[in-house]
Amino acid sequence: MSKAISLYLHVHQPFRVRHYTIFDVGADHGYFESTYEDRTNNERIIHKVAEKSYLPTNRHLLKLLQDHPEFCLSLSITGTVIEQLERWAPHVLDSFKDLVNTGRVEIVGETYHHSLAFFYSRAEFERQVKMHEEKVMQVFGQKPKVFRNTELAYNNDLAYWADKAGYKAILAEGWDKVLGWRSPNFVYRPAYSENIKLLMKNYRLSDDIAFRFGDRNWSGWPLTADKFSNWLNSTHEAQIFNLFMDYETFGEHQWHESGIFDFLEHLPSEWLREHGNKFMTVSQAADSFEPADAVDIPETLTWADTERDLSAWLGNSMQTSSILSLYALEEKILGTHDLSLIEDWRKLQTSDHFYYMCTKWWGDGDIHAYFSPYENPYDAFIAFTNAYHDLRYRLNEKGVEL
Amino acid sequence: MLGWELPPHNSGGLGVACYQLCRALSKKGADIEFVVPYTAEHPDVDFMSVNAAHPQDVQRVLKAGIAYDSFKYVKSSGEIEWVDLFGQSAIYEEAVGRIVGETSFDVIHAHDWLTCRAAIRAKMSTGKPLIVHFHSIEADRAGKPMGGNPLVREIESLALTLADKIVAVSQYTKDAIVREYDIPADKIEVVHNHSDPASLIPEEGENVYRYLTAMRELGYKVIVNVGRLTVQKGLPNLLRAFQLVVQRSPKTFLLIVGSGEQRNELIQQAADLGIAQNVLFTGFQRGKNWRDSYGVADLFVMPSVSEPFGLTALEAIGYGTPVLISKQSGVSEMILNALKVDFWDIHEMANKMIAVVQNDVLRDELYRNAYHEYRSHSWDESADKLLSIYEDHLSKSPSNADKAGAAA
């Protein structure tokens, strides 16, 4: 039986809120602008990530696309990272366009602001999806046909929405609790849907690359393209291997020194050595296979942590009160028709801001799980809350009743 | 063990730390003879013997005042004499010199500079290993590097040099000892203080701060500081930051619990800043008055210029209040779930106080996690570390080579 790898990479950077104090509220609206040396400086971070990850990865991927006509992949790229690249690193954005111009890179749709709007305001969610679609069309000349939500946050309602919106497939975590005895290596159909297909991440194989690759204590270390292809070839009950991961896996999460780029460079040739093996974009996977079964996912599932839920974003009261008060401003903010105010409000919806306020690992000594430009979750909350107060200040200035 | 005070005759954290540390040590089998420089009952101490060291012709030595002030000597003749700190430290040295000739022990463990002269004499006359335990150094008390009384610095320097091992209450203090006295870092062990959850007294009855309790019902918030009113504690910065808080959140009180030489100037400063009605000075408090000050507050602030440890921050968490602490403190190494600020950064101090008084969720989340963290530490860890230091030195010392247990 022929098998395919569907490699899907996710590119995102938030607009981090600088150390923004109560004394800045009403005096300076530049929440996202910090001095270059600051840990929250977005320009410095985008340069660093581009150097370590985006540029070398794109160089390797372009070479692979040129050398192997059978190689293809999918990627999603948020509006917030596209904006940052346009502003601070246009040559890096060009290197993404070069990939897409080969005709074998599919762009996956999502919210422009990498937000959790689906769970708070359906109308705002749809606006952000539309914004993203337009941005992708403008930059890459493609209309997304497959959808992924922020953090792969998925449930039946989202699938129902995506089905009605005309997407041919949607992505989700291939979590054992929802799959049961079923394997993620087949195409499924979301429960209560008509046409849309469900592609589920093979988290074991994906995490072998994304998390375990450089771990010398892992039994699979060192992982070579040859060994990895053998694992896939010896998996008999499979049609498609959904390898979904962050783009920054290459060069940032797994450093250059770990050999991750050698792995990437050799994966296509090793995989394609076996007769019948293929690469597919997410659309090709949806077009090629009939659903094996319907999968019912009433509770929200994400690709994060051992809980696979939204608790890293919405697990404590600082997080929930922040997000609720932000969405409570929706009508008033949109009513001003002030584009810069609306845009700042949207940039604050990016899920990363809430992640920085997560306390579930904090104090347990396990701060490795914690990627944040702030000293602690409370500082993140204070900076965010002050920015929120500034939105209110600006509304008040415009005569909006608060 | 040579100490300067024990509760209830303590002026600050030193006595509390010595008391709780000795209790944990004695639970693990250490036999402790604790020597203090004054005569008094210690009703809560039943796990070690406490002796007063004073000249033979003196009947009683009474501590006067609440800070490290002066001592009142009642001689056998009935005559009364007042002695200052330096005099007291010298008299303590003489008396300890006599006591060590009459008692047997394995290790000398001395706390802070006041006991250092006595500790050095005890080591010289007995040859027993000397461990000096620093809860603060002179530069901390002076509130600036290389600062303080040169005589005190000389005593500290001598004791640090002659000691067989140095114990510092934090990495912060260890770094300060290395910086101030050129002591090699590997001679110094960090043993953190704690606040024993078992020593917390549950809230009972109505909070004594009735006015503040009533105002809280009306939506007011209360910030509290507990400690000596002295330059080391950084209170002028707190008042300036609090002025900014009041400008944005007028319904906020600052409760200042403690006394000290800065009291009058702080009262004056609050008035000059136009916040006199929002700042309440209680003076030095013990017992329920002291405990309830934590209980009535939404936030405890410790703005110290230099705080070797900062036990009050742990006590605040133990009594139900989240904390904002200066980064120039030992306790900030230990508690992750705290707001932290450089002592000189008045705007940031204000920013964080405002955030807490305006956001109950921040206050509650901060407290919940801090309390969990507080409960995860204990004096046992520190006692174990000290016992292993004792044992190291017992086995190294030729005269003690055959002894395993430690008595200090």
Taking CA atoms, what residue in B is nearest to A24? B351
Query: Is A75 an 8 Å CB contact of chain B?
Result: no
Query: Is A368 an 8 Å CB contact of chain B?
Result: no
ipTM of the complex: 0.81
If asked whether residues B232 and B124 sit together in one domain, one would say no
Contact B369 A382 (CB under 8 A): no
If asked whether residues B353 and B389 sit together in one domain, one would say no
- The whole-number average pLDDT for the span A294-316 is 94
HEC letters along chain A:
CCCEEEEEEEECCCCCCCCCCCCCCCCCCCCCCCCCCCCCCHHHHHHHHHHHHHHHHHHHHHHHHHHCCCCCEEEEECHHHHHHHHHHCHHHHHHHHHHHCCCCEEECECCCCCECHHHCCHHHHHHHHHHHHHHHHHHHCCCCCEECCHHHCECHHHHHHHHHCCCCEEEEECCHHHHCCCCCCCCEEECCCCCCEEEEECHHHHHHHHCCCCCCCCCCCCCCHHHHHHHHHCCCCCCEEEEEEEHHHECCCECHHHCHHHHHHHHHHHHHCCCCCEECCHHHHHHHCCCCCEECCCCCECCCCCCCCCHHHHCCHHHHHHHHHHHHCHHHHHHCCCHHHHHHHHHCCECHHHHCCCCCCCCCCCHHHCCCCCCCHHHHHHHHHHHHHHHHHHHHHCCCCC
If asked whether residues B132 and B235 sit together in one domain, one would say no
The DSSP annotation for B50-96 comes to EEE---TTEEEEEEESSSS-EEEEEETTS-EEEE-HHHHHHHHHHHH
If asked whether residues B237 and B113 sit together in one domain, one would say no
Contact A376 B340 (CB under 8 A): yes
pLDDT of amino acid A262: 97
Q: Does the annotation mark A37 as catalytic?
A: no
Tokens of B141: 């008390």
**Cα–Cα distance between A82 and A43 in angstroms, integer?**
13
pLDDT of amino acid B225: 98
Kindly list the distances between the CA atom of residue A116 and the CA atoms of A109, A329, B23, in Å, as whole numbers in the listed order.
14, 15, 53
Taking CA atoms, what residue in B is nearest to A319? B361
Query: Is A22 an 8 Å CB contact of chain B?
Result: yes
pLDDT of amino acid B404: 40
Tokens of B104: 């047997």
**Cα–Cα distance between A40 and A373 in angstroms, integer?**
5
Q: Do residues A75 and A9 make contact, with C-beta atoms less than 8 angstroms apart?
A: yes
| Phi and psi, residue A251, nearest 5° | 100, -20
Residue A364 has pLDDT above 80, yes or no: no
Average pLDDT, chain A: 95
Residue A63 has pLDDT above 60, yes or no: yes
Query: Is A28 an 8 Å CB contact of chain B?
Result: no
Residue B236 domain-assigned (yes or no): yes
Tell me the domain boundaries of chain A. 4-295, 311-397
| Phi and psi, residue A60, nearest 5° | -65, -45
Residues contacting A60, CB < 8 A, separation 6+: A250, A261, A264, A265
If asked whether residues B108 and B223 sit together in one domain, one would say no
Task: Enumerate the residues of chain B whose CB falls inside 8 A of the CB of residue A363.
Answer: 336-337, 369, 372-373, 376
pLDDT of amino acid B144: 85
Residue A93 has pLDDT above 60, yes or no: yes
If asked whether residues B172 and B213 sit together in one domain, one would say no
Q: Do residues A39 and A376 make contact, with C-beta atoms less than 8 angstroms apart?
A: no
Residue B4 domain-assigned (yes or no): no
If asked whether residues B158 and B55 sit together in one domain, one would say yes
Residue B358 domain-assigned (yes or no): yes
Residue B300 domain-assigned (yes or no): yes
Number of domains in chain B: 2
**Cα–Cα distance between A61 and A47 in angstroms, integer?**
19
Amino acid at B20: Q
Tens of pLDDT, residue by residue over A281-304, are 999 999 999 999 999 999 999 998
A264, A270, A275, A278: CA torsion to nearest 10: 0
Tens of pLDDT, residue by residue over A103-122, are 999 999 999 999 999 999 99
pLDDT of amino acid B403: 42
Residue B8 domain-assigned (yes or no): no
CATH of the domain at B238: 3.40.50.2000
If asked whether residues B391 and B355 sit together in one domain, one would say no
Residue B6 domain-assigned (yes or no): no
Query: Is B218 an 8 Å CB contact of chain A?
Result: no
Residues contacting A165, CB < 8 A, separation 6+: A129, A147
Distance from CA of A364 to the nearest CA of B (A): 8
Query: Is A325 an 8 Å CB contact of chain B?
Result: no
Where chain B has pLDDT below 50, the residues are: 66-67, 400-406
What residues are paired with B35 via a beta bridge?
A: B2, B51
The residue range of the domain holding B340 is 198-375
pLDDT of amino acid A326: 98
Taking CA atoms, what residue in B is nearest to A385? B355
Task: Enumerate the residues of chain A whose CB falls inside 8 A of the CB of residue B373.
Answer: 363
Tokens of B223: 């910030």
Distance from CA of B121 to the nearest CA of A (A): 43
pLDDT of amino acid B89: 87
Query: Is B354 an 8 Å CB contact of chain A?
Result: yes
If asked whether residues B217 and B141 sit together in one domain, one would say no
For residues B99-124, b (16+ Cβ closer than 10 Å) or e, as one string? bbeeeebbbbbbbbbbbbbbbbbbbe
Residue B7 domain-assigned (yes or no): no
- The whole-number average pLDDT for the span A243-269 is 95
Residue range A4-295 forms a domain whose CATH class is alpha beta
Task: Enumerate the residues of chain A whose CB falls inside 8 A of the CB of residue B245.
Answer: none
Task: Enumerate the residues of chain B whose CB falls inside 8 A of the CB of residue A382.
Answer: 351-352, 355, 362
If asked whether residues B185 and B219 sit together in one domain, one would say no
Query: Within a 10 A sphere around the Cβ of B403, how many other Cβ atoms?
Result: 14
**pTM over 0.95, yes/no:** no
Distance from CA of B140 to the nearest CA of A (A): 25
Percentage of chain A beyond pLDDT 90 is: 93
**Cα–Cα distance between A78 and A109 in angstroms, integer?**
9
Q: Do residues A252 and A57 make contact, with C-beta atoms less than 8 angstroms apart?
A: no
Residue in A106, A110, A124, A151 annotated catalytic: A151
If asked whether residues B143 and B233 sit together in one domain, one would say no
Q: Do residues B298 and B356 make contact, with C-beta atoms less than 8 angstroms apart?
A: yes
Q: Band of the pLDDT at A274, cuts 50, 70, 90?
A: very high
Tokens of B204: 């009972």
If asked whether residues B322 and B240 sit together in one domain, one would say yes
